[in-house]
């Protein structure tokens, strides 16, 4: 797979010297990431390398100790999480993030609902939300969940929950998707399905994903950033990164 | 906060067709008829007490059951509204409707002030902040001259509804209170089943996820808090009118605890649960007065037994039962 050619301002997300210090423990140290628009970019590294912390910094769930984050050229270092989400950068979570006691349809609908602009209207009937059902079903169709529209999300098997989560995320039509270990804890067939799904949705979007399943990353991602103990160890396409002796030592030895 | 079980049961009841729009209309229709006939069968003052506490608990449930926020200071809104209404009716001579509205308005504003600070924390910290503020309100109620301190604010005139219906007639007063309850309950019902209510539910289910979908969860929580405080105030203003006095018990933290108890007993996260819980608690307090101080012990025992045996609350358990024996 060839990566789209990079131009000078082809970056959608950039971090500059990002550092996070938890009372003396430096979880993320001087990380400067450059994610090009339209690519699938992976963040890999052994356990404790700081992947999820970087993720939480990017989505503003954690404030950085120093450094800057630029999204589409705009400094978002001090924005609030909901604000970042509204700018088109949507994250997923490591543990599946569905709304457990809402139905499958309602899960997706909640994401669609914000655009109606009636989310504070406590005097309106919820029948007004039915206009969203068509779009919600389309999104569910795309992840093979339309047949489960009235199932309560908590009752779905794990792989399907992740699919629902992706459908919910896509409902926001994000420019940039941040996926936190999208294939974690999945069986083999489910992994294949989710990889296909990511490839499909990435056709007109940018994806940054944390992953430690190397085989997933190899086929799917244009650029791979390897983290170790909070710092960037190597960066580049899989073929290049996987030959890097430091990476081999630090990471491949850990994976199977 | 984990999802209350009553919520799962109501959802299941909808899904399985135990609750349908038609059955719902019939059910509420019957309740209205019952509400209109009941004062001729049961002592009206008792009924009005139940209605006030049912409204209070339902308002509280909007936060606990549908937003996942446990407030431990809701007596502040009940009591403050009661004092304001009582004072305005007695010492300023406002018409009844305006007095009740003003009490509600003050509770709403107070809810905004307390809520704005409390929602910055969650879980037990949220509960403790609300309790802290409620204790300050209690202190004010003890100290301020217009509340009557330990003696309470007494002799609230009931006046005339719409300028001509004399409310010292218990039946007239009952229908006035019933109308207020119906209105307040309708507001809560609509809020639960509104676009806003769906966002609240998503916040209760998974706050981080709601945030990542672009919802400013704090603003939604604040609006829910303000609505809940305002309606708790409406209940307090109405109660002041019914009993013609307001005392320190209305702002005491016992009241804040009692409303938690009613809601859990009846079934949090269910539409009817808090009202059923309120009926039960008020009935026990009323009909067991012969036992003196032992009432607290009896109510406590019923609560412990109830929560141990019926984890989902009475209404939650009833729905669960209906699920196993569909009709």
Count of C-beta atoms within a 10 Å radius of residue B90: 19
pLDDT over 60 (residue A2)? no
- Assess whether A122 and A194 both reside in one domain: no
Q: Which one of B195, B211, B226, B319 would you mutate to disrupt binding with A, by most A Cβ within 10 Å of its Cβ?
A: B195
- Say whether B58 sits in a helix, a strand or coil: helix
Q: What is the pLDDT of residue B293?
A: 84
A209 forms bridges with which residues in the sheet? Answer: A42, A179
A82 and A179 belong to one structural domain = yes
Which residues lie across from A34 on neighbouring strands? A14
Tell me what ipTM this predicted complex has.
0.85
Q: Are residues A85 and A207 in the same domain?
A: yes
Does the pLDDT of residue A140 top 90, yes or no?
yes
Cβ-Cβ contacts under 8 Å, B195 against chain A: 113, 116, 118-119, 121, 124, 126, 128-129
CA B39 → CA B60, B229, B239, distances in Å?
A: 26, 28, 17
How many distinct helices (H) and strands (E) make up chain A? 9, 11
For residue A204, the Cα-to-chain-centroid distance in whole angstroms is 15
Q: Per-domain residue ranges for chain B? A: 5-16+43-324
Per-residue pLDDT of chain B (327 residues; tens, 9 = 90+): 445 567 778 878 887 788 888 999 999 999 999 999 999 999 999 999 999 999 999 999 999 999 999 999 999 999 999 999 999 999 999 999 999 999 999 999 999 999 999 999 988 999 999 999 999 999 999 999 999 989 999 999 998 988 888 999 999 999 999 999 999 999 999 999 999 999 999 999 999 999 989 999 999 999 999 999 999 999 999 999 999 999 999 999 999 999 999 999 999 999 999 999 999 999 998 888 888 888 888 988 998 998 888 888 999 989 888 877 766
For residue B5 the two structure tokens come to 């079980």
d(CA B242, CA B174): 9
Q: With cut-offs at 50, 70 and 90, classify the pLDDT of residue A142.
A: confident
Q: Are residues A79 and A55 in the same domain?
A: yes
Q: With CB atoms and an 8 Å threshold, state whether B206 touches A106.
A: no
- How far off is chain A from B62, nearest CA to CA, in Å? 12
Residues A126 and A217 in one domain: no
Rounded to 5°, the CA angle B81-B82-B86 comes to: 115
**Minimum distance, in Å, between the CA of residue B125 and any CA atom of chain A:** 20
- Quote the Cα angle for A173-A176-A179, to 5°: 100
Q: What phi, psi does A70 have (nearest 5°)?
A: -120, 125
Claim to verify: residue A93 and residue A106 sit in the same structural domain: no
pLDDT at A9 over 80: no
Give tens-digit pLDDT for A209-234: 998 777 788 888 999 999 888 888 88
Same domain, A94 and A186: yes
- According to the model, what pLDDT value does residue B40 have? 95
DSSP class of residue A249? Answer: I
Q: Do both A55 and A148 map to the same domain?
A: no
The answer to whether residues A97 and A165 touch, using CB atoms and an 8 Å cutoff, is yes
Same domain, A82 and A188: yes
Total domain count, chain A: 2
Mean per-residue pLDDT, A72-86? 91
pLDDT bucket at A5, cuts 50 / 70 / 90:
very low
Determine the 3-state secondary structure of B167 from DSSP: coil
- Give the other-Cβ count within 10 Å of A211's Cβ: 23
What is the total residue count of chain B? Answer: 327
Structure tokens at B290: 């012969």
Cβ neighbours, 10 Å, residue B33:
10
Which architecture characterizes domain B5-16+43-324 according to CATH? Orthogonal Bundle (1.10)
**Nearest 10 degrees: Cα torsion B208, B214, B218, B219:** -160
Residue A164 counted as domain residue: no
CA B268: distance to chain centroid? Answer: 12
Mean pLDDT of chain A: 86
Find chain B residues with C-beta within 8 A of A123's C-beta. 190-191, 194
Strands A176-180 and B160-161: unpaired
Q: Diameter of chain A by CA atoms?
A: 63
Instruction: Give A-chain residues touching B229 at CB under 8 angstroms.
Output: none
Q: Could you tell me if A134 and A80 lie in one domain? A: no
Find the residue in A nearest to B205 (Cα). Answer: A99
Residue A256 predicted with pLDDT over 60: no
**Do A77 and A127 share a domain, yes or no?**
no
In angstroms, rounded to a whole number, what is the distance separating the alpha carbons of residues A90 and A168?
A: 10
Cα B30 from Cα B35, distance rounded (Å) = 8
A61, A80, A120: residue with CB nearest B196: A120
Smallest CA–CA distance, residue B119 to chain A, in Å, is: 16
CB contact under 8 A, A125 and B196: no
Chain B residues within 8 A of A106 when measuring between CB atoms: 198
Q: Domain span at residue A115? A: 100-155
pLDDT at A253 over 70: no
Closest CA to A107 of A160, A59, A182: A160
- DSSP of A104-170: HHHHHHHHHHGGGT-TT-TTS-GGGGGGGHHHHHHHHHHTT-GGGTTSBGGGS-HHHHHHHHHHHHH
Please state, in angstroms and rounded to a whole number, the distance separating the CA atoms of residues B69 and B206: 13
A4: pLDDT confidence band, cut at 50, 70 and 90? very low
Length of chain A measured in residues: 256
* Structural domain contains residue A163: no
Say if residue A92 is in the same domain as residue A16. Answer: yes
How far lies B46's CA from each of A183, B53, B261, in Å?
60, 11, 19
Q: Is A182 helix (H, G, I), strand (E, B) or coil?
A: coil
pLDDT single digits (tens) B46-89: 999 999 999 999 999 999 999 999 999 999 999 999 999 999 99
pLDDT in the model for residue B3: 56
């Amino acid at each position: 797979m060839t990566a789209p050619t990079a131009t000078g301002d082809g970056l959608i997300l950039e971090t500059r010297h990002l550092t996070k210090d938890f009372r003396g423990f430096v979880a993320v140290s001087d990380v400067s990431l450059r994610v090009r628009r339209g690519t699938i970019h992976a963040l890999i590294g052994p356990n404790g390398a700081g992947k999820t912390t970087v993720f939480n910094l990017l989505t503003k769930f954690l404030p950085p100790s120093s450094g800057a984050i630029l999204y589409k050229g705009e400094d978002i270092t001090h924005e609030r999480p909901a604000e970042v989400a509204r700018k088109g950068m949507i994250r997923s979570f490591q543990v599946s993030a569905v709304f457990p006691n809402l139905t499958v349809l309602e899960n997706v609908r909640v994401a669609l609902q914000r655009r109606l602009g009636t989310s504070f209207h406590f005097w309106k009937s919820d029948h007004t939300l039915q206009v969203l059902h068509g779009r919600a079903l389309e999104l569910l169709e795309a992840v093979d969940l339309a047949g489960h529209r009235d199932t309560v999300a908590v009752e779905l098997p794990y792989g399907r929950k992740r699919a629902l989560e992706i459908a919910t995320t896509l409902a926001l039509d994000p420019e940039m998707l941040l996926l936190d270990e999208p294939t974690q804890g999945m069986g083999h067939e489910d992994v294949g399905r989710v990889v296909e799904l990511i490839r499909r949705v990435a056709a007109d979007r940018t994806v940054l994903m944390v992953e430690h399943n190397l085989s997933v990353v190899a086929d799917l991602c244009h650029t791979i950033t390897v983290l170790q103990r909070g710092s960037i160890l190597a960066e580049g396409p899989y073929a290049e990164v996987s030959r890097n002796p430091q990476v081999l030592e630090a990471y491949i030895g850990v994976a199977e | 906060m984990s999802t209350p079980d009553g919520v799962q049961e109501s959802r299941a009841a909808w899904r399985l067709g135990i609750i349908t729009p038609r059955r719902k209309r019939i059910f509420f229709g019957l309740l209205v008829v019952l509400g209109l006939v009941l004062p001729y069968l049961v002592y009206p003052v008792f009924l009005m007490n139940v209605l006030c506490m049912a409204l209070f608990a339902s308002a509280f449930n909007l936060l606990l059951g549908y937003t996942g926020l446990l407030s431990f200071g809701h007596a502040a809104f009940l009591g403050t509204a009661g004092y304001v209404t009582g004072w305005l009716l007695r010492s300023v001579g406002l018409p009844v409707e305006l007095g009740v509205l003003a009490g509600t308005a003050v509770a709403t504003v107070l809810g905004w002030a307390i809520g704005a600070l409390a929602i910055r924390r969650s879980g037990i910290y949220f509960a403790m902040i609300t309790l802290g503020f409620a204790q300050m309100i209690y202190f004010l109620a003890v100290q301020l001259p217009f509340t009557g301190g330990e003696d309470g604010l007494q002799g609230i005139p009931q006046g005339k509804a719409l300028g001509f219906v004399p409310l010292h007639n218990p039946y007239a007063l009952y229908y006035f209170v019933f109308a207020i309850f119906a209105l307040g309950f309708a507001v809560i019902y609509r809020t639960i089943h509104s676009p806003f209510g769906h966002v609240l539910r998503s916040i209760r289910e998974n706050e981080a996820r709601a945030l990542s979908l672009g919802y400013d969860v704090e603003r939604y929580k604040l609006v829910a808090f303000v609505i809940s405080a305002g309606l708790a105030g409406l209940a307090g203003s109405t109660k002041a009118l019914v009993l013609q006095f307001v005392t320190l018990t209305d702002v005491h933290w016992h009241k804040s605890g009692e409303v938690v108890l009613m809601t859990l007993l009846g079934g949090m996260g269910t539409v009817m649960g808090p009202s059923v819980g309120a009926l039960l608690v008020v009935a026990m307090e009323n009909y067991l007065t012969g036992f003196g101080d032992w009432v607290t012990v009896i109510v406590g025992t019923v609560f412990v037994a109830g929560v141990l045996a019926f984890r989902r609350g009475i209404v939650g358990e009833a729905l669960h039962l209906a699920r196993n024996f569909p009709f």
